[in-house]
């Protein structure tokens, strides 16, 4: 947080005008009187410098502009989510294609995708089927995605991660 007007207790300050021009080194009282004459605020912008640097500005307007810039930056940023797609080893072609299409949609939106296969009961004896399924899935997504982590078995789930290819 910036120090304003009377809060600035330094003996000497380097003063900068509204257009960024140097007004020289002076006592903080002098700087404050100049700010009052012009109807502006004296704002300490660089407290660690010797002497500290203060600037003449309309602080309320400055805060407003800063808030506007931050809001604009927040609006433009995209949070990358991890979307999950679950399958079973006995999935059929139609269902597989639907899941594939969804995964490709998530990837083109710029999200990462976790594809997992859940094994139930005796399916645990045939984890190779799940591995082949995941490999086939990764192969089909190859034009829009990069394989982050290959298929790995954790308990009853085998999963892999895909991330979107960088847009050039």
Q: Quick check: 152 pLDDT over 50?
A: yes
Q: What number is the average pLDDT over the span 9-23?
A: 88
Would you place residue 1 in the very low, low, confident or very high pLDDT band (cuts 50, 70, 90)? confident
Domain encompassing residue 129: 82-164
Q: What is the pLDDT of residues 58-116, one digit of tens each?
A: 999 989 999 999 998 888 877 778 999 999 998 999 999 999 999 999 988 888 999 99
* The pLDDT of residue 96: 93
Give the number of domains in the chain: 2
**86 and 69 belong to one structural domain:** no
- Give the residue among 141, 150, 131 at the shortest CA–CA distance from 103: 141
**98 and 135 belong to one structural domain:** yes
Q: Quick check: 19 pLDDT over 90?
A: no
Would you place residue 168 in the very low, low, confident or very high pLDDT band (cuts 50, 70, 90)? very low
The runs of H, that is alpha helices, within 2-126 are: 28-38, 59-76, 93-108
CATH of the domain at 119: 3.30.110.10
**14 and 47 belong to one structural domain:** yes
**130 and 59 belong to one structural domain:** no
Cis preceding linkage at 9, omega within 30: no
Where a domain ends, among 51, 75, 99? 75
Cα distances (Å, whole numbers) of residue 151 to 22, 64, 76, 122: 62, 50, 34, 20
**64 and 90 belong to one structural domain:** no
Q: What is the pLDDT of residues 107-146, one digit of tens each?
A: 888 889 999 999 999 998 988 999 999 999 999 888 888 8
* The pLDDT of residue 55: 92
Distance CA 72, CA 66 (A): 10
**55 and 124 belong to one structural domain:** no
Where a domain ends, among 58, 75, 92? 75
**27 and 64 belong to one structural domain:** yes
Distance of CA 15 to the CA centre of its chain: 36
Q: Quick check: 161 pLDDT over 90?
A: yes
* The pLDDT of residue 167: 59
**106 and 137 belong to one structural domain:** yes
């Amino acid at each position: 947080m910036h120090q304003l007007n009377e809060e600035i207790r330094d003996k000497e300050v380097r003063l900068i005008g509204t257009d960024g021009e140097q007004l020289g080194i002076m006592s903080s009282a002098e700087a404050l009187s100049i700010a009052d004459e012009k109807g502006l605020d004296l704002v300490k912008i660089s407290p660690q410098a010797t002497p500290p640097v203060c600037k003449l500005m309309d602080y309320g307007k400055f805060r407003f502009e800063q808030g506007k810039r931050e809001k604009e930056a927040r609006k433009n940023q995209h949070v990358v989510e991890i979307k999950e797609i679950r399958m079973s080893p006995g999935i059929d072609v139609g269902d597989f294609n639907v899941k594939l299409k969804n995964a490709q949609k998530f990837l083109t939106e710029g999200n990462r995708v976790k594809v997992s296969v859940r094994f139930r009961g005796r399916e645990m004896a045939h984890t190779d089927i799940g591995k082949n399924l995941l490999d086939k899935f990764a192969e089909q997504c190859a034009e829009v995605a990069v394989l982050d982590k290959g298929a790995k078995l954790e308990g009853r789930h085998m999963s892999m991660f895909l991330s979107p290819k960088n847009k050039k």
